[in-house]
A and B are shown apart, each in its own frame.
Chain A
């Protein structure tokens, strides 16, 4: 019972069909407060689709996605609009980076504050006290998060001009700006060099501690996954095939088979 109340996200029987293709088939998983959980699997296993289903980009064909926002009653969020889910406290990054290219780095993060502020059109035109205060808070918080991911010097650059690794970190900061209790990262290390990946490793652990978020992570870099995850779920062809601690997963024959025995031991 104590364990139950600690759960942040519970997914049961999640299924997603695209026409005739079943991209996800009866997947179950859950995340508790303070955890870093990894979701791994070969290309095309359906990991990104899981993210899209639980963040409201797609409406799942079947199954239950229930979030337990701190201080709120549990809610089933199947088919809820993506922005509602984000304001409930679940934020994500994208595998194929989706920043706002013609906006500055700082402005990108400021968008994350949108759902935590409430300045209306009239407030903005009349520049009411509230709008001035919220604007100030937005800018302060954005600079704080920028410093956290090490992008403070490029705050006023266009985000399109950043290097790849920096863009990935900017996406993380933008998601953090929505003040989530659960952060979903889709292949944050993709395209990073080994040095950047090591730094990312530390960054993720630091974010969990400082921002008090649980993290669900899709990643192909096994070293990163094994280093930082508390638990791992493995998917193949849309199905969950294994779950456990990094040690258990490394030894699981089913997983080794799925990966042809190679990468797990890397």
Chain B
């Protein structure tokens, strides 16, 4: 009964909140005020029903958990689909093949020679997948908060733009250079903050991100100032002349290959001496150091590697867009990438990919419901935080079997 009352209050509260938004409308043609009471009733009813349903279901879940505890069953006995997938290498390999094949034919299915809008959207989404996977190393695996990650992306993009403009260097030469430059900045940033944790780390990385943007905005002759740099060459393919659609397809396959490379490398690292040390550092820094892990080296490698991917994909971003300016590297983007890591589940490769695609593609395709787009987006985020605060895929258990030396390599992701 208390449920009912509380849900009723929530419903009424929503009706009140919605009053200016959804009920009152000034009709500018005949200068009248319209009162759309029906909207208010609908909203009140929906809010009430949702609240009631939610309360009932959380209560049921709590009851079930209490039952499980009373029966002496561990809470984690129920395996998630992701855990089952990771425990079964054959299944995950087959799934990987299907997804890879789908990704390869995707641009041919959705684009025509006139219309390759979907390919371009996918390119920008995949760029964020790489960014998410890169930050996943720093934040998700090593547990080092970084609120200025987009700065490394900017370093990569500007490295290519400047080298191409001033020295006429090609895309493929600049690709590794962009990554290495960003890695260098990662180490430069990493050194002073080795000893910082939590809030302080957040502040310093936030500052680093903002400083980068301000420097870019204010240095006219070097970085093109707020106007940015235009006319950045597209990736070259043995000097062939490509039309618009082919250019997009080419970008798509480059960034897709980079996604695959990032997944491959992260997966191998995650499942090695280096990755174990990162995770231990995330779990308990003091215990980790007391067990003989070199904190400085481990932290720096996590920063440097995270930055490296951002730099690489920054080069692709600059090449794909032809044009960059500081507005592409705001704090909002850093926050967006961080949400991908958190929503996906700290440290989970698959989770971060799904979250990155969802966060980039949803707003794009929700354009249909134009003005409510960000509202829906926000609602999805809030719901995620309520129902899966640990992320889409949270902390899977990895099994390590004892095996003869020659076939002791790991499997799956």
Q: How many B residues touch A, CB cutoff 8 Å? A: 39
Is B293 in contact with A114, judged by CB distance below 8 angstroms? yes
Give Cα A131–Cα B272 distance, bound, in whole angstroms.
8
Contact of A139 among B280, B286, B288, B408 (CB under 8 A): B408
Contact B283 A121 (CB under 8 A): no
CA distance A104 to B283 in the complex (A): 12
How close is B176's CB to chain A, nearest CB, in angstroms? Answer: 15
Q: Total number of A-B contacts with CB less than 8 angstroms?
A: 139
Are A117 and B292 closer than 8 Å at their CB atoms? no
Contact between chains at B269 and A124 (CB < 8 Å): yes
> Is B287 in contact with A121, judged by CB distance below 8 angstroms?
no
Question: Which listed residue (B276, B279, B289) contacts A82, Cβ 8 A?
Answer: B289
CB <8 Å contact, A121 and B400:
no
Mark out the residues of chain B between 234 and 283 whose CB falls within 8 Å of any chain A CB in the assembled complex.
265, 268-269, 272-277, 279-280, 283
Task: Determine if A135 is an interface residue (Cβ-Cβ < 8 Å).
Answer: yes
B403 contacts chain A at the CB level, 8 A cutoff: yes
Question: Which residue of the partner chain, among B268, B279, B305, B408, contacts A103 with CB atoms under 8 Å?
Answer: B279
In the complex, chain A residues whose CB is within 8 Å of the CB of B301: 121
Once A102-B283, A156-B397, A158-B397 are accepted as A-B contacts, the answer to whether A178 and B273 lie under 8 Å apart by CB is no
- Contact residues in B for A121 (Cβ distance below 8 Å): 269, 274, 301, 305
* Residues on the A chain within 8 Å of B400, using CB: 106-107, 110, 139, 142, 155-156
Is B71 in contact with chain A by the CB < 8 A criterion?
A: no
CA distance A123 to B293 in the complex (A): 18
**Which residue in A101, A110, A161 is a CB contact (below 8 Å) of B76?**
A161
Cβ of A83 and Cβ of B295 under 8 Å apart? yes
Give the size range of A's interface with the partner: 35 or more
Binds B, one of A10-18, A24-32, A85-93: A85-93
The complex places the Cα of A87 from the Cα of B297 at a distance, in Å, of: 15
| Cβ of A98 under 8 Å from chain B | yes
Contact present for B287 and A124 (CB under 8 Å): no
Contact B276 A110, beta carbon cutoff 8 Å: yes
- Residue-wise interface mask of B (298-310) relative to A, using a CB-CB cutoff of 8 A (1 in contact, 0 not): 0001000100000
Query: Assuming the A-B contacts A94-B287, A103-B280, A121-B269, are A132 and B408 also in contact, with contact meaning beta carbons closer than 8 angstroms in the complex?
Result: yes
In this assembly, does A209 line the interface, its C-beta being within 8 Å of a C-beta of chain B?
no
Give the distance in Å from the alpha carbon of A162 to the alpha carbon of B377 in the complex.
39
B5-22 vs A: 1/0 string, CB under 8 Å? 000000000000000000
Q: How far is the CB of A158 from chain B (nearest CB, A)?
A: 7
Are the C-beta atoms of A115 and B274 separated by less than 8 Å? Answer: no
A102 touching B395, Cβ below 8 Å = yes
Cβ–Cβ contact B291 & A174, under 8 A: yes
Is residue B399 within 8 Å, beta carbon to beta carbon, of the partner chain? yes
Complex: A2 Cα to B373 Cα, angstroms: 81
CB distance B284 to A178 under 8 Å? no
Q: CB of A41 within 8 A of chain B?
A: no
Q: Is B74 an interface residue (CB 8 A)?
A: yes
What's the minimum C-beta distance from B285 to chain A, rounded to whole angstroms?
A: 10
Chain A residues whose C-beta falls within 8 Å of the C-beta of B284 in the assembled complex: 98-101
Cβ-defined contact, B408 with A114, below 8 A: no
Complex alpha-carbon distance, A91 and B293, angstroms = 12
Given the known interface contacts A100-B279, A119-B274, the answer about A92 and B290 at a Cβ–Cβ threshold of 8 Å is yes
Q: Is B398 an interface residue (CB 8 A)?
A: yes
Residues on B with beta carbons closer than 8 Å to the beta carbon of A98: 284, 286-287, 290
Residues of B near A201 (CB, < 8 A) are none
Partner of B273, one of A91, A100, A135: A135
User: Closest B-chain residue to A118, C-beta based?
Assistant: B273
Give Cα distance in the complex from A111 to B290, angstroms: 10
- B402 touches A (CB below 8 Å): yes
9 A-B pairs in the complex with CB atoms less than 8 angstroms apart: A57-B290, A81-B289, A83-B290, A99-B283, A99-B287, A100-B279, A100-B283, A111-B293, A178-B292
CB-based closest 3 A-B pairs: A115-B292, A124-B272, A100-B283
Could you list 20 further interchain pairs (A-B, Cβ under 8 angstroms) beyond the known A121-B274, A132-B405? A57-B286, A81-B289, A82-B286, A87-B292, A98-B284, A101-B284, A102-B279, A102-B283, A103-B280, A104-B397, A104-B398, A107-B398, A110-B400, A113-B273, A115-B291, A119-B273, A125-B269, A135-B272, A135-B410, A177-B291
